[in-house]
Amino acid sequence: MRAKAVDLGLDPERIGLMGASAGAHLAALVALAPDHFTAKYPRAPHAAVSAVVKAVVGFYGIYDMAAQWQHDQIARPTNSIAEKYLGVPLIQDRHLYFDSSPVSYATTDRKGVRFLLVHGTADDQVDPATQSQAFQNALNQAGIFVRRFVIPGAGHFWATDPFEGEIGSYGAAAAPTILRFLEGAL
Range with lowest mean pLDDT among 42-51, 119-128, 159-168: 159-168
Tens-place pLDDT, residues 49-77 = 888 999 999 999 999 999 999 999 999 99
Q: Which helix (H) or strand (E) holds 173?
A: helix 170-185
For residues 64 and 26, is the Cβ–Cβ distance under 8 A? Answer: no
CA-to-CA separations, 80 to 49, 52, 66, 132, in angstroms, rounded:
36, 31, 11, 19
CA dihedral 43, 44, 47, 52 (to 10 degrees): -150
For residues 132 and 119, is the Cβ–Cβ distance under 8 A? Answer: yes
Tens-place pLDDT, residues 97-134 = 999 999 999 999 998 999 999 999 999 999 999 999 99
Q: What is the mean pLDDT of residues 42-47?
A: 87
Domains of the chain (ranges; CATH) run 12-64+101-185 (3.40.50.1820)
Task: Report CA torsion sign: 99, 147, 58, 137.
Answer: positive
Query: Is 0.75 topped by the overall pTM?
Result: yes
Q: What is the pLDDT of residue 64?
A: 98
